[in-house]
Structure 1
Amino acid sequence: MYGFRIVDKLQKIDEDIYRDQLKYHSKRVLVSKEFTFDAAHHLHNYEGKCKNLHGHTYRVIFGISGFVDERGLMIDFGDIKEIWKNEIEIFLDHKYLNETLPPMNTTAENMVVWIYGKMAEALKREDRVNQYSGARVEFVRLFETPTSYAEARREWMEVE
């Protein structure tokens, strides 16, 4: 049986752990954050159900890598959320995607590349480059349904 234990003494910085111990390693690490949004769209030049106006609850997963700072943090999850909310989601959530996205057929394959580009652009802004060491988008997955997704990966986006 596992019992609940109250910590005897809360660890204190510069007393029980020192600042130079906070950064445990110098390896590249990946963090991931997931979001959902609801939107309507339809597809052009397509014969199937999706040629008609319809909606989805989309799910987006970001994989962002970089190096940890002196605190052992690569990027704050809250900062990823802020970029998502202020620079990407505003074009997507409860929108008619054919209207709010650049001219494209609003397929998951096209949209995931656009989302990837928006996040990559946001991480390259001067204030963020200085804050996050080597931060870059490694992948974006855009689920159109619970079992169907499109993915953009850094190695594909930077080469082609």
Structure 2
Amino acid sequence: MGSDFFGFRIVENLQKMDQDIKKNELKYHKKRVLVSKEFTFDAAHHLHCYEGKCKNLHGHTYKVVFGISGFLDEIGLVIDFGDIKEIWKNEIEIYLDHRYLNETLPNMNTTAENMVVWIYEKMNESLRNGLKKDQDVRVEFVRLYETPTSFAEARRGWMEVE
């Protein structure tokens, strides 16, 4: 079985592939599942045509939450969290982290509402053209927190209607 050490169980016999479990058992179901991953970045911006403090150059520590859904692959994953991180690092964060957003994003007022749609589009494009292009993996939502209590959200249903 296993022995206890200060309340922790030490596993003596790790489950072995093709001995204790078969490959066809790795995938438990055929349901769509949503996985989520969060990232933070720091950036500066200012708003145009706005009368308030945000018309001046200022910065935020933003938080981005991705909700990505799909069906399990043969080993029971929708998408590896590391793959989401790779897309974030290589395709999206490079335009955002420690940047002046008015310079690095397409011409837009750098409101959370505009930015969350841009982030959604970048993640969606990366999934459709990259690692998961042959699977039914899709962005369900992106939430962009500008402060700990204020966020904008883009949802798949809203993005596909127009």
TM range (shorter): over 0.9
Equivalent of residue 80 in structure 1, options 63, 78, 84:
84
Equivalent of residue 151 in structure 2, options 130, 141, 149:
149
Q: Aligned equivalents of 1:33 and 1:54: distance in 2?
A: 26
5+ residue gaps, structure 2, are 1-5
CA deviations on 1:16-67 (whole Å, 9 max, x unpaired) are: 0000000000100000000000000000000000000000000000000001
SS of match in other structure, 1:137 = strand
CA deviations on 1:104-123 (whole Å, 9 max, x unpaired) are: 00000000000000000000
Percent pairwise identity: 78
- The verdict on how the C-alpha distance between 1:134 and 1:11 changes in structure 2, with shifts beyond 3 A counting, is same
Q: Aligned equivalents of 1:60 and 1:141: distance in 2?
A: 6
Residue 8 of structure 1 and its aligned partner are, at CA, apart by 2.8
5+ residue gaps, structure 1, are none
The structure where helix makes up a greater share of residues is 1
RMSD (CA atoms): 1.0
Aligned residues: 157
Moved more, 90-99 or 119-128: 119-128
TM, length-normalised to structure 1: 0.96
SS of match in other structure, 2:87 = helix
Residue 3 of structure 1 and its aligned partner are, at CA, apart by 2.2
SS of match in other structure, 1:24 = coil
The equivalent of 1:32 in structure 2 is: 36
Q: Aligned equivalents of 1:26 and 1:129: distance in 2?
A: 19
AA aligned opposite 2:25: Q
TM, length-normalised to structure 2: 0.94
Q: Aligned equivalents of 1:127 and 1:43: distance in 2?
A: 35
Equivalent of residue 109 in structure 2, options 105, 112, 119:
105
